[in-house]
Amino acid sequence: MAVTHNEEKFHIPRNKDLFEIVQFEDKAFPIRVELHRLSNYFLNSFDCHWHNEFEFLFVKKGSMRCFVDDNEIMIKEEQCILINSNHFHYASGIGDKDCEYIVILMAPDFIGGKESRIYERYVAPLVADKRIPYIMPEGESRLNTFEIAEKMLDIYNDKKFGYELLMGMEVNRLWREIIKNIPEDLEECSSDIRYVKKMLFFIHNNYADEFTVKDIAENVNLSYGEACRIFKRSTNQTIINYLQAYRIKKSLTYLMSGDMNISEIAAAVGFNGASYYSEVFRKVTGMSPVEYKKAELERRKRVNNEV
């Protein structure tokens, strides 16, 4: 989950398939350890995406609702989750409460080279098993992984001489705790996620145009009812609600730039008229466009003063 800074909010850079090409400071040392807050993202939620790397989330304060493929998982304070390689995922806060968490992104072969016994025995089986979209350590392993993550964050930020060796030691400790929690009996993953990815691809590439839910369903070869049920079951929101929130999110750059009026902004992101855009904007954010812009400018001013 490599994030970039845009209009004082973070977003996850993805291609049209929602795939994130994770960037590391050093390609020869493919690991990142960062402290994040959900409040750094629009509507306290980071976008749907997937990538080749393992992603660990360790909640330090608050809680989050995490979605991995068609699974919804509540992660509370001092709980953590490993999201397996190449699984669709995103997360949101609970209500308007913030959540502070450590995120670790790591290439699977960082644990052991692909030709090594470590990778062959302890890493490759998990990467290959699509029945395991995520793992949540429990009991003593949960406590141990949390302690290791905080230590890794300190090591990564300090980057003192020899920190790569220390990180390697902690990664091996972390992975040993993780593999203790691999479930023995798993149900086959639903094929729903394949359809959800296609629906999201359609929305993200056509949000500025006029289309209906029926158009989305036909594009992925599903009936209207099937498309609605699959999307709701997998994302915990309706197609319409997701589309409206996505359009509002895409409109923020135009709104904050001040170069376009409300009618022009509405048309640019697929809304039929300024009044409907303003109505949906209030439903999604709890504020009118004017109120949001004023609040955001004041927030940025406070941040700049603090710096």
What's the sign of the alpha-carbon dihedral 151, 154, 155, 157?
positive
* Least confident among 260-264, 291-295, 300-304: 300-304
Which residue has 């806060």 as its token pair? 93
pLDDT in tens, 148-182: 999 999 999 999 999 999 999 999 999 999 988 87
This prediction's pTM: 0.68
β-bridge partners, 32: 105
- Cα(159)–Cα(29) distance, rounded to whole angstroms? 12
Q: What letter would DSSP give residue 23?
A: -
Ranges of H-type helices in 137-261: 139-158, 163-179, 192-206, 213-219, 224-235, 239-257
Most confident of 42-46, 102-106, 111-115, 123-127: 102-106
Largest CA distance in the chain: 62
pLDDT above 80 for 209: yes
β-bridge partners, 35: 102
The fold adopted by the segment(s) 192-306 is: Arc Repressor Mutant, subunit A (1.10.10)
Domain with CATH 2.60.120.810 in the chain: 4-179
The fold adopted by the segment(s) 4-179 is: Jelly Rolls (2.60.120)
Burial zone of 293 (CB within 10 Å; 0-12 exposed, 13-18 middle, 19+ buried): middle
Domain with CATH 1.10.10.60 in the chain: 192-306
Ranges of H-type helices in the chain: 117-118, 124-128, 139-158, 163-179, 192-206, 213-219, 224-235, 239-257, 262-268, 274-285, 289-306
Q: Give pLDDT, residue 189.
A: 42
Q: Give pLDDT, residue 66.
A: 94
Please choose, from the candidates 19, 108, 92, the residue with its C-alpha nearest in 3D space to the C-alpha of residue 55.
108
* Confidence band, pLDDT 50/70/90 cuts, at residue 18: confident
Give the chain's mean pLDDT: 88
pLDDT in tens, 42-68: 888 888 889 999 999 999 999 999 999
Q: Give pLDDT, residue 191.
A: 62
pLDDT in tens, 70-98: 889 999 999 999 999 999 999 999 888 89
Rounded average pLDDT over 27-31: 94
CA dihedral 66, 221, 240, 43 (to 10 degrees): 30
Rounded average pLDDT over 30-46: 91
